[in-house]
Every structure is written in structure tokens, then in C-alpha cells.
Amino acid sequence: GQQVMQIPQYQHVQEGEDFTTYCNSSTTLSNIQWYKQRPGGHPVFLIQLVKSGEVKKQKRLTFQFGEAKKNSSLHITATQTTDVGTYFCAGPVGAGGTSYGKLTFGQGTILTVHP
């Protein structure tokens, strides 16, 4: 079935270093969403990107949606210990292509920040 692939699976950084996670879909996405899950917590919605080539910023976080609307990235500048967690991308895809009712999540990138 259609999948949303995410790399890397793990990322260990020193506090102050930058971090990027990448998300790819085999099918064009109508939108891409990003979620953060703190250790022991639940996924929390961060942002949605809809337009081709869109770039959105939230403080030190920069989100991009590719021109073909098949890939996306999340970049964190100067990581802090509060950034620790798993970052998931999610897109509306299903076994037959675009799904209007559900999100399929990527595998997530586990970010560890060493102080």
C-alpha cells in the first residue's frame, strides 16, 4: 500500500546543533502534517503544509513542502533539550492513493539532544 517514509530513524545531536528530518511519499499529497511526540506522551499537531513549495516557520522550526508535493522536511535550528522527542510526518494516503478520511504516519525520527 501507499506509504509515507521518513528518515533518519534516529538522530543524536549536541545541544545547539541543527537537526533535520525528511519525509517522502510515493504519491502526491494534498497536504503534509507534522507531529511531535514527547517520550511517554502522545502525538501533538505542529503544523500543516498545503501548497507546493510552501515554507512555514515556528520559532526555531522550519517546515518545507516539496514542489512536487511528495516530500517534506522539518529543520530545527540550534536544538535545545526541550526538542527531545519523536517527530512524525503524516499524509492523507491510503491503499488506493489519496485518502480523505485518514492520515498515514511516517515511522518517525527519534531526536536525542545531549546537553
Contacts of 54 (CB under 8 A, 6+ apart): 64, 65
x-or-dash pattern for another protein, window 60-89, by CB under 8 A? ----------------------------x-
CA distances from 90 to 22, 27, 33, 35, 80 (A): 12, 13, 5, 8, 24
Q: Which of 19, 22, 65, 105 binds another protein (CB under 8 A)?
A: 105
Interaction of residue 10 with another protein, rule CB under 8 A: no
Residues between 35 and 64 that touch another protein (CB under 8 A): 35, 37, 41-45, 48
Distance between CA 19 and CA 42 in Å, rounded?
A: 21
- Site of interaction with another protein (CB under 8 A): 30-31, 33, 35, 37, 41-45, 48, 88, 90, 92, 94, 99-108
